[in-house]
A and B are shown apart, each in its own frame.
Chain A
Amino acid sequence: MVEMNGSQALWESLMKEGAKNVFGLPGGSVIPLCDEMLKQDIRFILARHEQGAAHMADGYARASGEVGVCLATSGPGATNLITGIASANIDSSPVVALCGQVARELIGTDAFQEVDIIGVSASVTKYNIQTRSAAEIPYAVKTAFQIANTGRKGAVLIDLPKDVTTEIMDVKFPENIVFRGYHPVYQPDRREIEWAATLLARADKPVIIAGGGIISSGASQELVSLSEYLMAPTAITLMGKGAFPADHPLSLGLCGMHGTCAANTMVSEADVLLIIGARLTDRTTGSVKTFAPNAKIIHIDIDRSEIDKNIDTVTRVIGDAKISLQKILHHLSILRSSTATNDVWRKKCQELREVNGVSKTNGDYLKAPEVVKTLRKALARDSIVTTEVGQCQMWAALHYDAYLPRTFLTSGGLGTMGWGFPAAIGAKAAKPNVTVVDIAGDGSFGMTENNLATSVKEDLPVIVMILNNNMLGMVAQWQRLFFGHRYSAVELKKTPDFVKLAQAYGAEGVRVESYQELEAAIRRAIKSEIATVIDVPIDPEENVLPIVPPGMGLKDALMEA
């Protein structure tokens, strides 16, 4: 037992959990916390809007695999975090959000800057806690980190009433918390492993879909081994990008609404489909009625509630992806040798990999897929890319080759516009020696562009490459394809000028008109010690293809438009 105030208890607890950075923005109810922070060995990265702080913590978590921490004041500070918390939680990213709250005696009185953040955040967090005394703070922090970073990872919010952070009490730091109702299962059931291995051993046309669970559990090696052992072509979900090296001969690329021809065709024709660490949302499956119609489906997930939620399976494995794949591989090696494979199937995989969607484009504009490929060529293998949301995200997903886990970060589940730039800053804080690039659109970047101040002033230089079509591009694409080419509320009319905007924040800004200029700009930006915004004008009419029209099956993709 040590006597200290609640703020000190909070910072000491955070440091015991290994937190090195906190992303946030102060306000009235967290002034005592910020004051106590001056005495602590922790880096506070000042965002200019709380949503940005939450995305930074999320980007930090995804790039490093460690828990990201963000902080906001009560009321509007806390509600501004919500989009960021929801984005992290649905993508199973371990984030702990610290929120100020009004003093205990004012709770429930609609006091100044009071919001019931426990109520508000309940459906977008894995867990949330309000501390009612200073002595509870170390338990709350330990609980938050344990829950955020185990099982299916997620976001946890701690609500900290102001007087709890100033209260002086005898405080104890727990070593471990035992939960009565939280026991994530890592070790899979032996019979489940055997059934899965038996089905895979009998497969003639096996396909694997790898999701974000591979990355969370660090199972990329095992995934490649299994894929090679079975000679199983391997597709990824958006969250699985980087889980399987894009230059591997068995790589099919993205599966789903904007999936590659190879991935969507092979998944549709598979006789055994192994899905690992994926939620199988509508964006991955297309119409569930026609999803993998001939396949016996095996689903591995650490979250039992994902099994049979959207897609019915033949068998399941509940547990950690890495451990499960190791055990399946071991069992497979008893059942069959790796040589018994279907050459026709493998050849089909090779052929389909060459098929791409083709968009009509006008004039001399740079083509978005080529822009993305130019970026890839200029970057090192371990560089990190984040994306905004919409067309830019799908071009990145289709045409940016990710080779390593935690090098392609994107808001998959929530599809949060404005996510990519602050997440890139968070990733840079986690990996200061790695180049970090946000593949942005002009619409998305506009939503969180004020984080340029953070990037410049906190010495976290990242590159923003804007695929600038002066449009809310994905909505415009849908209006072209599915709404009779009627544009409604999508034209951004060349505002702002992103080069001048960057310069206003003290960042570099450059506009490029050719692939050579683009490559040169990227190479300069990599060496620059300051954030660089590269504005790349593209055709407003360019479509992301393929696209599976909403409600249709994966085989119904439009390849040209």
Chain B
Amino acid sequence: MPKHVVSFIVENKPGVLFKVSNLFRRRGYNIDSITVGTLQDSELSRMTVTIDADSKILNQIVEQLDKMVEVIKIKRFDPIRTITRELLLIKLNTIDPMVRQEALEAINDNHGLILDIEPETLVAEITGEPQEIDKFLNRIKNIEIRELSRTGATALEKGPSTL
């Protein structure tokens, strides 16, 4: 099943994220990720949800969210016209210089940034489509990860159309 992206604009008020996540929980929708950030108009936030679901469930998700008083606009993105990006922060064990070299090459190849280097560890940032992040993690699977944090995907549609 393809991953679907639903993006929506909500009132930036306390409790709205709770109500959105409560709706997912209550209806039994299992989402992959949800991201939230404020918009130019600080009274609004934009939420982006990625989800594995068939078309009927996806429709219900959109309709149920749209019904919420706090949800102002909502759109289910056309998969082939969706630009998704996710950010990964990762802290690797790099005491061994050979391992460090391998890590730096992988990060470079993914256009990542080194944010911190210490004798034992390095911290890097990688941005890309969620699948690219998966691929990167797979490539460095022999390096010990101290910790990592993924933001979940955010998305816009290609072309002039907006939400």
* Interface presence of B26 (CB below 8 A): yes
Which residue on B lies nearest to A152, using beta carbons? Answer: B67
Are the C-beta atoms of B60 and A123 separated by less than 8 Å? no
> CA separation between A179 and B26, bound complex, in Å?
25
Known: A123-B26, A308-B59, A309-B60. A147 touches B69 (CB 8 A): yes
> CA separation between A234 and B66, bound complex, in Å?
32
Which residue on B lies nearest to A181, using beta carbons? Answer: B72
* Interface presence of B63 (CB below 8 A): yes
> CA separation between A127 and B11, bound complex, in Å?
14
* Interface presence of A180 (CB below 8 A): yes
Known: A122-B18, A122-B19, A123-B26. A182 touches B69 (CB 8 A): yes
> CA separation between A147 and B69, bound complex, in Å?
9
Distance between A2 CB and nearest chain B CB, rounded to angstroms: 27
> CA separation between A179 and B11, bound complex, in Å?
10
> CA separation between A127 and B10, bound complex, in Å?
14
* Interface presence of B38 (CB below 8 A): no
* Interface presence of B117 (CB below 8 A): no
Are the C-beta atoms of B70 and A181 separated by less than 8 Å? yes
Known: A181-B68, A181-B70, A182-B69. A305 touches B63 (CB 8 A): yes
Are the C-beta atoms of B19 and A179 separated by less than 8 Å? no
Contact with B along A109-150 (1 / 0, CB 8 A): 000000000110011001100000000000000000001000
> CA separation between A355 and B28, bound complex, in Å?
41
Which residue on A lies nearest to B44, using beta carbons? Answer: A180
The bracket for how many chain B residues form the interface is 20 to 34
* Interface presence of A303 (CB below 8 A): yes
Are the C-beta atoms of A304 and B63 separated by less than 8 Å? yes
> CA separation between A371 and B67, bound complex, in Å?
43
Central interface residue in B67, B68, B70, by most chain A CB within 10 Å = B67
Known: A123-B26, A303-B67. A308 touches B72 (CB 8 A): no
Are the C-beta atoms of B66 and A305 separated by less than 8 Å? yes
Known: A305-B60, A305-B63, A308-B56. A179 touches B22 (CB 8 A): no
* Interface presence of B119 (CB below 8 A): no
> CA separation between A122 and B69, bound complex, in Å?
12
Residues of A near B23 (CB, < 8 A) are: 123
Known: A122-B22, A181-B10, A181-B11. A305 touches B64 (CB 8 A): yes
Are the C-beta atoms of A118 and B15 separated by less than 8 Å? yes
> CA separation between A181 and B153, bound complex, in Å?
24
* Interface presence of B71 (CB below 8 A): yes
Known: A303-B67, A305-B66, A305-B67. A123 touches B22 (CB 8 A): yes
Residues of B near A119 (CB, < 8 A) are: 18
> CA separation between A147 and B67, bound complex, in Å?
12
Which residue on A lies nearest to B60, using beta carbons? Answer: A309
Residues of B near A126 (CB, < 8 A) are: 69
Residues of A near B71 (CB, < 8 A) are: 181
Are the C-beta atoms of B66 and A304 separated by less than 8 Å? yes
> CA separation between A446 and B15, bound complex, in Å?
38
Contact with B along A294-332 (1 / 0, CB 8 A): 000000000111011100000000000000000000000
Residues of A near B73 (CB, < 8 A) are: 181
Distance between A471 CB and nearest chain B CB, rounded to angstroms: 33
> CA separation between A126 and B67, bound complex, in Å?
9
Residues of A near B22 (CB, < 8 A) are: 122-123
Residues of B near A307 (CB, < 8 A) are: 63
Can you name 18 A-B pairs with beta carbons within 8 Å?
A118-B15, A122-B18, A123-B22, A123-B23, A180-B11, A180-B72, A181-B11, A181-B68, A181-B69, A181-B70, A182-B69, A304-B63, A304-B66, A305-B60, A305-B64, A305-B67, A307-B63, A309-B60
Given A122-B18, A127-B69, A304-B67, 6 further pairs, Cβ under 8 A: A123-B26, A147-B69, A181-B71, A181-B73, A182-B69, A304-B63
Closest 3 CB pairs of A and B: A305-B63, A181-B72, A182-B69
List residues of chain A with CB under 8 Å of any chain B CB: 118-119, 122-123, 126-127, 147, 179-182, 303-305, 307-309
